[in-house]
Amino acid sequence: MHNVTANGAEIPALGFGTFRVSAADTLRMVPAALKLGFRHIDTAQIYGNEAEVGEGIASSGVKRGDIFLTTKVWVSNYAHDAFLASVDESLKKLKTDYVDLLLLHWPNPAVPLAEQIGALNAVRAAGKVRHMGVSNFNTALMAEAIALSDGPLVTNQIEFHPYIDQSKVIRAARAAGLSLTAYYAMADGKVFADPVLKDIAAAHKRTVAQVVLRWVVQQEGFVALSKTVSEARAAENAAIFDFALTEAEMAAICALAHPDGRIVSPEGLAPVWD
């Protein structure tokens, strides 16, 4: 496994995601993922499983300092005082005195972005957060957040899979030194029936999931989040660093993108997408 370097952060290129993972499955899968070699765990306040992530890390036998832990502040906690209180609550649940990366989960125009970024910098200055970032930000919001922040932002976590064109956000992030963290890489399961992906997987004697995750991490500055409640699939997902896709295969997967490829765009949260 390699790390992605972004504005001073060293982020493991493959993370284990916990979105829509139940409490019981989180307790089981976080230690299992760490045993398999994952060193990046991603959660969020709104997922409702921070406590189980914390318990899973504590019971794993892996030192806290060897794990890159990400969580995200929910939009209802963006006012300054609520933000600080929510981070303290997250740390308590996660059984740690710091997180490696804290993200603003979605844009929320009801609270000035300057206030959100100010609170983000405050918890970093207090030593509760090592690195800062955003999630689901378009290029305009990303530029505004960077301009408002005293410290560097290190990632924008975005929907990214073979069917979505995120080239504008990717270019803007790279120009600013940010990494991109890909969620929904399997496109809600659509990738598994794709003939192009199945052919590439067969050529490498790999699974489609392995090919898609490899496609993500083989791109400059990209971190991939993988999620499963199966130990066997988690082991497969971890095994993507001993093969490489050809330039032609990378291009063939990129060519699957189409204008209406976005899947995640919740009303009331989504910005005006690029």
Tens of pLDDT along 162-205? Answer: 999 999 999 999 999 999 999 999 999 999 999 999 999 999 99
CATH of the domain at 21: 3.20.20.100
261: in domain: no
Tens of pLDDT along 61-90? Answer: 999 999 999 999 999 999 999 999 999 999
Domain range for 91: 3-254
pLDDT at 135: 98
% of the chain surpassing 70 pLDDT: 100
pLDDT at 69: 98
80: in domain: yes
274: in domain: no
pLDDT at 110: 97
The residues assigned a catalytic role are: 47
What is the number of domains present in the chain? 1
Q: What is the DSSP string of the chain?
A: --EEEETTEEEESEEEE-TT--HHHHHHHHHHHHHTT--EEE--GGGT-HHHHHHHHHTT-S-GGG-EEEEEE-GGG-SHHHHHHHHHHHHHHHTSS-EEEEEE-S--TTS-HHHHHHHHHHHHHTTSEEEEEEES--HHHHHHHHHH-SSPEEEEEEE-STT---HHHHHHHHHTT-EEEEE-TTGGGGGGG-HHHHHHHHHHT--HHHHHHHHHHTSTTEEEEE--S-HHHHHHHH--SS----HHHHHHHHTT--TT------TTT-----
Task: Consult the annotation and say whether 80 binds a ligand.
Answer: no
Would the pTM count as exceeding 0.85? yes
38: in domain: yes
Confidence of residue 1 (pLDDT cuts 50, 70, 90): confident
% of the chain surpassing 90 pLDDT: 100
58: in domain: yes
Tens of pLDDT along 138-171? Answer: 999 999 999 999 999 999 999 999 999 999 999 9
